[in-house]
Amino acid sequence: MENRTGLLSGIRVLDLTRVMSGPFCTSMLADMGAEIIKIEAPVTGDEARHFGPYQEDESTYFMMLNRAKQSVTVNLKSPEGIEIIRALIPQCDVLVENFRPGVMDRLGLGAEQVRALNPSMIYASISGFGQESPLADWPAFDLVIQAMSGIMSLTGPKGGPATAVGESIADVATGMFGAFGIVAALFDRERSGKGHTLDVAMLDSVMAMQLTGLSRQLYSGDTPRPAGNRHPVTYPVDSFPTSNGDIVMVCFSNASFVALCELMSKPELAEDPRFSTNAARNENEEELRGLISGWTAAQDQAELVSRLQAARIPAGPVWTLAQLAGSEHVEARQMVRQAEHPKFGTVPVVEQPVRVAGQKPRADQFVPTLGQHTDVILTRMAGKTADEIASLRKNKAI
């Protein structure tokens, strides 16, 4: 099952993660060619297998997150199960876990305990608040992290309630930062031969993403508030209606605003004291938005985007996911690919987006059924015989 192509070819990851943040991290490593051994609880498996939406009785959410991983069922509450994990550790390069802080230590699988078995191991812990935070014991879900990170306080219509981003952004961001840290640690290991312990917190990850808001908060003490679709300090950077769908435009400078006024056949607006500077445009935002919206509402969406771009004003249509998935861009970039599934034949998956010159996407994309690879991994890596595997299964260790 080991993949022989990709930048991470030859790297083996012991994946003790579940739900989203950890599996997203390891899916990125899988896409780059790493071999992922996904440890799941017997019978129930990763909790994500039970999250909708479903195709028949299979979670499509799980399929998207766990492509190209080998599923091995191990009961971590069983001493025999822990011994299986300990047998796999010396043969792996990376261990990723996203249990609550302290759980892995109690299992005998904490960073120092693992490094005693494999000194060069890259050990990555993903959690809501980090290993040493005073909030470390709090259960962390994406919505909780969004709420506490400040990003909800910045999202939604002006004057409206705090609003969650329309995706599990805290999980996704943490998975990306985790994968970045793992690859950096692997690079250093090539030079030093030493393993590393990584502590990746969801709250930290979302905080680190908020450069615009924090540049105001930390430098001026000005706490940002929801501003809808507009940029918090530059106008007109906003969404506007057309006759057949919304668009966004980015008039980020006086020059681009002059170009917009020319397109509107109202060049005098660029000299109007109410709009001639960014500060004035912000002060008179409501009036300016009314003038622009009155013009855009009579235009065809595609034609208007084309005219704006020709005038060197960044613009784009507001798409639904259906429009994005069916776009020429997604087709050209091959963002949606097919993975093999034992039940459905093929299912669509979306891989990590980095394209490496001369490297093709991995060809062996597949979605595992629960425990599909248990026997082969225990035979190949743990040296278990068929009789020993049967005994482990009888004792509910696997």
Catalytic residue annotation: 231
Give the per-residue SS3 of 36-101. EEEEECCCCCCHHHHCCCEECCEEHHHHHHCCCEEEEECCCCCHHHHHHHHHHHHHCCEEEECCCC
- Look at the block and give the residue holding tokens 């017997």: 42
Q: Which of 138, 115, 292 is closest to 194 using CA atoms?
A: 115
State the DSSP H helix or E strand holding residue 282, giving kind and residue range, or none if neither. helix 278-283
Cis peptide before 53 (omega within 30 of 0): yes
Closest CA to 367 of 89, 122, 45: 45
Q: Which two tokens stand for residue 11?
A: 């790297």
Instruction: Judge whether 49 and 38 are in contact, CB under 8 Å.
Output: no
Amino acid, res. 198: L
**Chain length of the chain:** 398
Identify whether the C-beta of residue 314 lies closer than 8 Å to the C-beta of residue 249.
yes
Compute the distance between CA of residue 387 and CA of residue 40 in angstroms, rounded to an integer: 22
